[in-house]
Structure 1
Amino acid sequence: MRPLRSLALLLLAAACSDRPAGVSAEQHAMMDYAAAAASEPAPPAPQSLAAPKAAVGLGRQAGGGTGPSLPAALPGAGGVQQSAMIIRTGTASVEVRALDSAMVSVRQLATSLGGYVANTSTHGGRDQVRAATLELKLPAARFESAISGLEPVGAVESVNVEAQDVGEELVDLEARIANARRLEARLIELLATRTGKLEDVLAVERELARVREEIERGEGRLRYLRTRVAVSTLVVSLHEPHPILGRTDNPMAEAWRDAWRNFVALVAYSIAALGIVLPVALVLAGIVMFVRRAALRRAAVNRNGAPGVAC
């Protein structure tokens, strides 16, 4: 027993000699545990945290700068580039020799570019120049080709092009629709697990209907804007040359021409007025003749039928 007791004392003395002065056994054990934990390799970072670091590193390598750069495509943007979301509308005025053939040429131009003619209007008259207006719906990528294709049709007098950038509105609509869909999913889940009063269930259903209506309205507006971006509008106005008689610089000739036109117009109006004046005059003449004959007959009766004076 004594040899074993002496061996235990020697081991305890060795342990105390390795511990620093003023440090208890418990503190020394905690220090050993901390050192062992620090010597172990660190666990790998989660994939959700490591991905942003890799993206930032790629941005630095591509940009060549010291600061982090944003990724090329943001999540939730739906692949929409704001700079490409442009609605273009234009108007063009063209003077042509023959209106009918020019309208056929414009229709063929729209068909060859993958578009179509939406609306057409023509007008003209006896003293007016024949003209027509055609509204073309064309692919946005071929809008410039349509404008340049008007040169063979006739003399292009004016071209006006307007551009409207709707990229910001498209991104905003997509974000609202995504939030509304998340809210719709939560309401459906709440409706499926709801076991309360009937009023609460009806309130959830009303809110769900409102959210779905908002989603449908946003999707409709989104489809409309995408269609307007994909299809451009070009309104082409065609007109024939003005008559040569109207292009004179002699004021005297123009005055004589106006006087002759006014005289012809006066004669025409007078002839047209006879259709009203002549029947009225005949009726009035008949009445006058009837009254006059009645007066003469009455006078004759009074003169012949007067009683004589008795002697």
Structure 2
Amino acid sequence: MKSHKLKMLFSLVLVLGLIITVAECQRNESRAPFALVAKHAREKDFASEPSSGSVDADEAIDKPISAQISERKLIARISLTLEVEKIKDPVIKAEGIAKEFGGYVSDSRIYQEETSESATLVLMIPIQNLDRALAKLRELGKVRYEQKTTEDVTRQFIDSQARIKNLQREEEALARLLERSGKLADILEVERELARVRTEIDQIQGELRFLEHQTSYSTLTLNLSTKPLPPQYEAGSLKNSFIRAWRAFRATLHGLVVLAIYALFFVPLIIVLIAIIYFIIKLLKRLIRGKRAS
């Protein structure tokens, strides 16, 4: 009888332990961290798709070189300096050339000086029309300086696109996780992570839009300047020289007269002042001698 009771008690303990274990497993499964779920989703996507930055070797060989170059993302900057006869007409024509080839004027400044004029224009020209626009701009004057620089941002462009794809996968995984029912703390944590991912996606997309604009339009800085004018001599310059000399003589004579008037006024005062000082010094000497004699 006693052995039967012990067996019943042992069986009851085993059943209770099994129930507690199953309940704990279910609770842990319902509270699985969102980071592990998102990580699993990302690893699954990475395993199923090739890397966005890799290129198949056969595809690269089959593509012509011109096609490979056209796929590169380049930022082109050109500086062109022209000497022109006048400023106004070339400025108007340069603005017209930019619009003709689908571009626009980003900045325009004109400077006026005594002997010359100059202007600086920043033109944004579509990259595919750059050579034709540049050829027309050279016709506006005499080329004094020209420089071309390019910056290859292909790697940056590809990396940004890959980051966006990865973040979008993470966003989808978090969105699926958010649809499941769970505790309020877990839901809030998933929402915070989802907001962070979406903010990062928006930021990278903004950088991509900026890069796309920079690579679609070339920046062309056009400097225009006129040749400095030589000194201009008027007709009858000899006569004008005599007139200027006479005016200078009169001005000098007027200055001397004014100086003489000041001298006539101040010289007597200076003489009187010197005489007073002289008599004071002479009187002091006599007093000193009288004291020594006594």
TM-score range relative to shorter protein = 0.5 to 0.7
Asked if the contact 1:136–1:233 (Cα under 8 Å) also holds between the matched residues in 2, the reply is: yes
Asked if the contact 1:86–1:165 (Cα under 8 Å) also holds between the matched residues in 2, the reply is: yes
Describe the superposition over 1:180-215 as per-residue Cα deviations: whole angstroms up to 9, x where unpaired: 00000000111111412x222111110000000010
Map of 1:163 onto structure 2: 150
Please say if 1:89 is aligned against 2:81. Answer: no
Q: 1:103 aligns with which of 75, 91, 97?
A: 91
Q: Percent identity?
A: 30
Map of 1:193 onto structure 2: 180
- Distance in 2, Cα, partners of 1:69 & 1:162: 30
What amino acid maps onto 1:168 in structure 2?
A: R
What amino acid maps onto 1:219 in structure 2?
A: Q
Structure 2 stretches of 5 or more lacking a match? 1-49, 51-55, 62-66, 233-243, 252-294
Choose between structure 1 and 2 for higher RCO, CA contacts under 8 A separated by at least 6 residues.
2
What amino acid maps onto 2:165 in structure 1?
A: A
- Distance in 2, Cα, partners of 1:209 & 1:82: 37
Asked if the contact 1:123–1:131 (Cα under 8 Å) also holds between the matched residues in 2, the reply is: yes
What amino acid maps onto 2:230 in structure 1?
A: I
Give the drift of 1:72.
4.4
What amino acid maps onto 1:206 in structure 2?
A: R
- Distance in 2, Cα, partners of 1:179 & 1:114: 35
Please say if 1:178 is aligned against 2:181. Answer: no
Indicate the structure with greater helix content: 2
Q: 2:112 aligns with which of 104, 124, 140?
A: 124
Map of 1:231 onto structure 2: 217
Map of 2:27 onto structure 1: none
Aligned positions of 1:283-298 closer than 5 A: none
Aligned positions of 1:1-311 closer than 5 A: 69-72=57-60, 84-126=72-114, 128-196=115-183, 198-245=184-231
- Distance in 2, Cα, partners of 1:245 & 1:215: 64
Structure 1 window deviating more from structure 2 (111-120 vs 80-89): it is 80-89
After TM superposition, where is structure 1 displaced by more than 4 Å over at least 4 residues in a row?
79-83
What is the RMSD computed on CA atoms of the aligned residues? 2.8
Give the drift of 1:116.
1.5
What amino acid maps onto 2:111 in structure 1?
A: H
Change (3 A) 1:80 1:191: farther
Asked if the contact 1:82–1:166 (Cα under 8 Å) also holds between the matched residues in 2, the reply is: no
- Distance in 1, Cα, partners of 2:135 & 2:72: 22
Change (3 A) 1:187 1:211: same
Please state whether the residue corresponding to 1:84 is helix, strand or coil: coil
Give the drift of 1:81.
7.1
Using the size of structure 2 for normalisation, the TM-score is: 0.55
Tell me which structure has the larger Cα radius of gyration.
1
- Distance in 2, Cα, partners of 1:201 & 1:83: 43
Give the drift of 1:118.
1.6
- Distance in 1, Cα, partners of 2:231 & 2:88: 23
- Distance in 1, Cα, partners of 2:106 & 2:188: 47
- Distance in 2, Cα, partners of 1:209 & 1:192: 15
- Distance in 2, Cα, partners of 1:114 & 1:201: 50
Structure 1 stretches of 5 or more lacking a match? 1-51, 53-67, 74-78, 247-259, 268-311
Map of 2:28 onto structure 1: none
What amino acid maps onto 1:71 in structure 2?
A: E
Using the size of structure 1 for normalisation, the TM-score is: 0.52
Please state whether the residue corresponding to 2:149 is helix, strand or coil: strand
